[in-house]
Amino acid sequence: MDTTEQPLPPHEFDDGRRHLLKTVGAVTLLAAAGSARRAHSAPAQQPAAIRIAVAQAFTGTPPSFSASSMAIAHAKGWIEQEFAADGIKVEWYSFKGAGPAVNEALTNQQVDFAFQGDLPSIIGRAGGLKTRLVLATGVRANLYVAVPSGSPLRTLADLRGQRVSLFKGTNIHLPALRLLEAHGLREKDLRLVNLDTASALAAVSTNDVDAAIGGQDLLRLRDKGGIRILYTTKGQSPVYTRQSAVLVTDTFAQRYPEATARVVKAAVKTARWASDEAHREEVLRLWARAGTPYEHWKEDYAGEPLRVRLNPNFDPFLVARYKDAVEQAARFKLIRSKFDVDSWIDSRPLSAALKELRLETYWPVYQADGRVAGA
């Protein structure tokens, strides 16, 4: 008997190949489904630590900073609590050099999040730093212009030709120039001296400058009789106030989206607590631990709801301020090229947190001109 293996007829070969392909396909689909289930059930990748930069020097006991809901989160340890069960460290880093120093840390990949003013974050973004704005806080901060107590200067227009201290590269820089322009003064009409806050306080009190533009830190010298407040934006147009926000690096947000969302959610919870008028006294006293007396916080915030200054939303007013700041920074050649602010703002983590916490309508929404929407 011939035992030579005979080839299958063409139709039988096709049937066998189809059966094999179906078998392989089924195995492949099962393997893919198993991988998908494992990927779905596997825990999200988590960072070993979350590093947060603050564009302020920590002062006082315990070391503190101020003027934002992030400062309250730091004082209360609420972001640490969010990650405690996961064993994830939350590390805070303060920078006496303010926003410019924070940008250097971001460039060197030493921090993941940063709380800083609009101008330094704009300079960083325009310079190539890959970041996303995820949360607003410490917005509408007032400017103060001070002169030595014996100064003959009486109006902002009188600053023409005078030595005026200004902490350049911070969120004081652009609104100060915007304010001066509104009073007929261009940057070249003054002799601007770049001084940090502590140096400016010393210089104006010893008449080494004719005026100083800064925050409510100047009120300390006023109370001692060493200076006089020439002008404040308090009660004036909010267009001349300072804005700040929290940003995250693209690298961290892409690698750890869940951790990013949890940081934002913890910050929103803090903003809700801190903007409750029932907590006003505690909020102001916690900020006072950083060195500015409670009485000065009380004076600066008098007549203004906490919800206005501790609003986490990028409403039309704040978006307009950032867009104006980009235009102004380009005009003053502080940045080489402009960029799209709308695409810089990543509202997804904030929107998710607001929805989950049912806070979509808790904070007021302001139009670009500073008026409440619908008013």
pLDDT (tens, 9 = 90+) of the chain, 375 residues, equals 444 433 333 333 344 434 333 333 433 433 444 444 444 444 569 999 999 999 999 998 899 999 999 999 999 999 999 999 999 999 999 998 899 999 999 999 999 999 999 999 999 999 999 999 999 999 999 999 999 999 999 999 999 999 999 999 899 999 999 999 999 999 999 999 999 988 999 999 999 999 999 999 999 999 999 999 999 999 998 999 999 999 999 999 999 999 999 999 999 999 999 999 999 999 999 999 998 999 999 999 999 999 999 999 999 999 999 999 999 999 999 999 999 999 999 999 999 999 999 999 999 999 998 888 765
Print the domain residue range for 164.
Answer: 144-240
Cα distances (Å, whole numbers) of residue 47 to 43, 102, 220: 12, 21, 42
Measured distance CA(140)–CA(137) in Å, rounded: 9
Tokens of 59: 């002062």
Phi/psi at 61 (nearest 5 deg)? Answer: -130, 115
Q: State whether 340 and 260 are in the same domain.
A: yes
Q: Residue 225 belongs to a domain with what CATH number?
A: 3.40.190.10
Q: State whether 97 and 221 are in the same domain.
A: no
Strands 131-136 and 89-94: unpaired
Q: State whether 303 and 160 are in the same domain.
A: no
Q: State whether 252 and 346 are in the same domain.
A: yes
Edge-to-edge order in the sheet of strand 49-54: 89-94, 49-54, 113-117, 244-249, 131-136
Residue 364 lies in a domain: no
- Fill in the amino acid letter for 154: R
pLDDT of residue 5: 38
Residue 173 lies in a domain: yes
The model carries a pTM of 0.85
Closest residue by Cα to residue 262 from 116, 135, 76: 135
Q: State whether 251 and 162 are in the same domain.
A: no
Q: State whether 256 and 346 are in the same domain.
A: yes
Measured distance CA(299)–CA(374) in Å, rounded: 29
Q: State whether 173 and 289 are in the same domain.
A: no
Residue 11 lies in a domain: no
In 194-281, beta strands by DSSP E: 211-214, 227-232, 244-249
Q: State whether 99 and 151 are in the same domain.
A: no
Residue 297 lies in a domain: yes
**Total count of domains within the chain:** 2
Measured distance CA(93)–CA(106) in Å, rounded: 12
Measured distance CA(261)–CA(58) in Å, rounded: 26
Q: State whether 225 and 156 are in the same domain.
A: yes
Residue 203 lies in a domain: yes
Q: State whether 262 and 342 are in the same domain.
A: yes
Reply yes or no: is the peptide bond before residue 62 cis, omega within 30 of 0: yes
